[in-house]
Amino acid sequence: MTIESGQRIPEVTVTRIRQGVETVDTPTLFNAQKVVMFGVPGAFTPTCSEKHLPGFIAHYDDFLKRGIHVYCVSVNDAFVMKAWGESLGVPDGLQMLADGSGDLTRALGLDIDLSGNGMGLRSRRYALYAEDGVVKQVWVEAPGEFKVSSAEHVLEQLPD
């Protein structure tokens, strides 16, 4: 079942890429904070690299002004996420999260089997807004679409 407004972010671990690579649990990432997390089907894929992540990079300061942390997560390994972030010039505060085994993605109910396209288990394209570990809003894209999870759309939907 897909996570819904009012539910807590499930407790799992992911790999966070900053100056180095570290394992971190979701309570550490979400508790006592406002967070927008967006999930992408894959690093270095066309829509993810040309629109989704670049939109959050371009609007990163707009989220910061509202006191909101921004996380990008994908079912990729930490090395791929690090290289992808570097290739697009991700600002230091925008956290790249590697969900290499898909544990977080499955726990959120946002996994999709793209084996037919040679990609295996991946994340659906989405964005969510959480306060203190509780989801307030979720925007999940229909397959092949990129509308409701864009940085621009998310900013329009957030409370001031």
Contact 82, 17 (CB under 8 A): yes
Q: What is the token pair recorded at 95?
A: 């956290």
72 is an active site residue: no
Q: Which of 29, 40, 48, 98 is catalytic?
A: 48
Locus of tokens 């999930």: 39
Alpha helices by DSSP H, 25-102: 26-30, 46-47, 53-58, 60-65, 78-88
How far from 86 is each of 29, 51, 53, 59, 68, CA to CA, in Å? 21, 16, 12, 17, 22
Residues recognised as catalytic: 48
